[in-house]
């Protein structure tokens, strides 16, 4: 199957003009791959219709070959469906309340443990409420998880009233920053479960409802998502059990059905088996690794043409911590910064002293600190004031001074880059910062 796709892609590679027949052939192969991965047929048909229309009607941008054009469209449309790399949980207000829903066995409680730990590493202190009165062991499972993480838990295995549990838990945790509510996934009748979710949602008034879907259930994912979305507004999706052979195509259909982004992927039973959703990786699973590699490389090649804009923005002073992070990643690949600078004509001694003196140890430290920052903080570092400094330090296990040092380094680098921008240094420096 994957081979088929590669073969058609090769055929397309030799072409300079888009041939209707070849486009149709590529699309047929993509259809097959998607259907085999459990993507809903209607969705596959809609998707291929869009790809075909665009491939045949849109003029490829200047300098882009027919092949690159079709490939970019396929990739675009899949990403379009799945959403860009999801934003993380943003704590917009306090307490920020997250309600977990999903069928029994889908992995709610396990995912709550994983996410609680993930958020704890970011310096948050999530409190958890157990409202699952159906499974006798539900409270015990959470008790063990939270005990290991040293996180607050509210639950009462003797109380069989889920709404009462929710109310009492919220009261107990009203001073917390972040509350996660676990729910039951089973009832005598499915309707009773859905009714309970609707009522719990009304009591909790969640800021975000996360729907947990078992990645191995294939086509049923769509219906499940639909059923839950009729009880409460689903804000985001967690797909579990993608550590096995399942490709998560069902999940794609669920996403398309309810329009909520996937935020996390569960890749195992252990508490660290959680990945932030990455559409690229997800699409490679759906289509077959080899094929998507080509897809993405091509797509990126095309994107490079437009990257100048991002570059200009950066040189004019829009340099965020996130940009600095990518720089670090690249430097790690290329070797120590001073060495890199020496390779660039005339640049060796132009960088501020402390910038060229970042040791690898420091880079490592800075990266750990940045891992404890939220998306918002990375893109708008100016919001990082005293309380955020403290939280980031706590989350990364470092001192407040370390956070301040990183921010100082960022300021110095930003200034230096702005300086370069004024002197219109493009070329090698531009490439370096990409
Ligand atoms: P809940 O009923 O929705 O709360 O589901 P649980 O969290 O209790 O999980 C049900 C089962 O699925 C447990 O045996 C978990 O260990 C397992 N599980 C959950 N997430 C994953 C995952 O990402 N990968 C694998 N392999 N197993 C998982
Ligand atoms: Mg559970």
Tokens describing residue 433: 């910062």
| Domain membership of residue 376 as a residue range | 316-432
pLDDT for residue 25:
77
Q: Please give the Cα distance from 17 to 276 (Å, whole number).
A: 39
Percent residues over pLDDT 90 in the chain = 42
Q: What is the CATH number of the domain that holds 154?
A: 3.40.50.300
Nearest residue to 85 (alpha-carbon basis) of 285, 283, 290, 271: 283
The Cα-based distances of 367 to 327, 357, 362, 372, 394 in angstroms read 11, 16, 8, 9, 15
Residues 131 and 261 in one domain: yes
Query: Which residues belong to the annotated binding site for GTP?
Result: 102-109, 182-186, 240-243
Q: Which alpha helices (H) appear in 238-288, and where do they start and end? A: 249-258, 279-287
401 within some domain = yes
Residues 360 and 381 in one domain: yes
Instruction: State yes or no: pLDDT of 298 exceeds 50.
Output: no
Residues 332 and 252 in one domain: no
pLDDT for residue 15:
56
Which regions of 102-207 does DSSP assign to beta strands (E)? 127-130, 153-154, 178-182
pLDDT for residue 339:
45
Instruction: State yes or no: pLDDT of 110 exceeds 90.
Output: yes
Tokens describing residue 117: 């730990």
| Total of domains in the chain | 3
Q: SS3 of 318, please? A: coil
Ligand nearest to the CA of 101: 1
131 within some domain = yes
Nearest CA to ligand 1 atom 16: 269
Residues 102 and 231 in one domain: yes
Residues 335 and 206 in one domain: no
223 within some domain = yes
Question: What string of DSSP letters covers 208-235?
Answer: EEEEEEETTSTTHHHHHHHHHHTTS---
Determine the atom of ligand 1 nearest the C-alpha atom of 244. Answer: 26
pLDDT for residue 297:
55
109 within some domain = yes
pLDDT mean over 202-223? 93
Q: What is the CATH number of the domain that holds 15?
A: 1.20.120.140
Residues 142 and 228 in one domain: yes
Cα of 229 vs centre of ligand 1, distance in Å, is 21
Residues 69 and 147 in one domain: no
Q: Which neighbouring-strand residues pair with 265? A: 239, 275
Determine the atom of ligand 1 nearest the C-alpha atom of 110. Answer: 7
pLDDT for residue 383:
94
Residues 67 and 106 in one domain: no
Query: Which residues belong to the annotated binding site?
Result: 102-109, 182-186, 240-243
Q: Which of 240, 246, 274, 275 to mutate to test the pocket of ligand 1 (most atoms within 8 A of CB)?
A: 240
Cα of 205 vs centre of ligand 2, distance in Å, is 20
No. of H helices and E strands in the chain?
20, 8
Nearest CA to ligand 1 atom 26: 268
Cα of 141 vs centre of ligand 2, distance in Å, is 8
Residues 266 and 320 in one domain: no
Determine the atom of ligand 1 nearest the C-alpha atom of 182. Answer: 4
Of 32-36, 127-131, 352-356, the range with the highest mean pLDDT is 127-131
The predicted-structure confidence for 6-46, as pLDDT tens digits, reads as follows 566 666 655 556 677 777 877 887 788 888 888 888 888 99
Q: SS3 of 316, please? A: coil
Residues 137 and 260 in one domain: yes
Cα of 137 vs centre of ligand 2, distance in Å, is 9
The predicted-structure confidence for 54-107, as pLDDT tens digits, reads as follows 988 887 776 666 666 776 787 788 888 887 666 677 777 889 999 999 999 999
């Amino acid at each position: 199957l994957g081979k088929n796709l590669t073969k058609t892609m090769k055929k397309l590679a030799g072409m300079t003009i888009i041939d209707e027949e070849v486009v149709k052939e590529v699309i047929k192969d993509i259809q097959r791959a998607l259907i085999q991965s459990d993507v809903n047929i209607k969705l596959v048909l809609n998707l291929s219709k869009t790809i075909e229309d665009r491939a045949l009607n849109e003029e490829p941008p200047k300098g882009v070959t027919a092949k690159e054009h079709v490939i970019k469209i396929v990739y675009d449309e899949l990403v379009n469906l799945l959403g860009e790399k999801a934003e993380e949980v943003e704590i917009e207000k306090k307490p920020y309340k997250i309600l977990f829903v999903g069928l029994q066995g889908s992995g709610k409680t396990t995912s709550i443990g994983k996410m609680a730990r993930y958020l704890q590493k970011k310096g948050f202190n999530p409190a958890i409420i157990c409202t699952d009165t159906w499974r006798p062991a539900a409270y015990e499972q959470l008790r063990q998880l939270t005990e290991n993480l040293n996180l607050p838990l509210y639950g009462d295995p003797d109380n069989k009233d889920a709404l009462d549990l929710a109310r009492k838990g919220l009261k107990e945790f009203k001073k917390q920053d972040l509350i996660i509510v676990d729910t039951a996934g089973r009832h005598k009748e499915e309707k009773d479960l859905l009714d309970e979710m609707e009522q719990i949602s009304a009591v909790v008034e969640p800021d975000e409802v996360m729907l947990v879907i078992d990645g191995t259930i294939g086509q049923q994912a769509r219906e499940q998502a639909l059923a839950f979305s009729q009880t409460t507004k689903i804000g985001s999706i967690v797909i579990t059990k993608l550590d096995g052979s399942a490709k998560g195509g069902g999940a794609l259909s669920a996403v398309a059905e309810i329009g909520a982004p996937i935020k996390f992927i569960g890749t195992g039973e252990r508490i660290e088996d959680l990945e932030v959703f990455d559409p690229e990786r997800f699409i490679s699973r759906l289509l077959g690794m080899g094929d998507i590699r080509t897809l993405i490389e091509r797509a990126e090649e095309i994107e490079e043409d437009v990257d100048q804009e991002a570059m200009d923005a950066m040189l004019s002073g829009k340099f965020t911590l996130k940009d600095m992070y990518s720089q670090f990643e690249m430097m790690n690949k290329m070797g120590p910064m001073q060495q890199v600078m020496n390779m660039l004509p005339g640049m060796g001694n132009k960088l501020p002293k402390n910038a060229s003196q970042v040791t690898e140890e420091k880079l490592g430290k800075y990266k750990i600190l940045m891992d404890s920052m939220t998306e918002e903080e990375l893109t708008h570092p100016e919001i990082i004031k005293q309380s955020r400094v403290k939280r980031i330090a706590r989350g990364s296990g470092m001192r407040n001074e370390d956070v301040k040092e990183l921010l100082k380094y960022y300021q110095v680098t930003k200034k230096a880059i702005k300086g370069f921008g004024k002197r219109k240094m493009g070329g090698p420096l531009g490439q370096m910062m990409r």
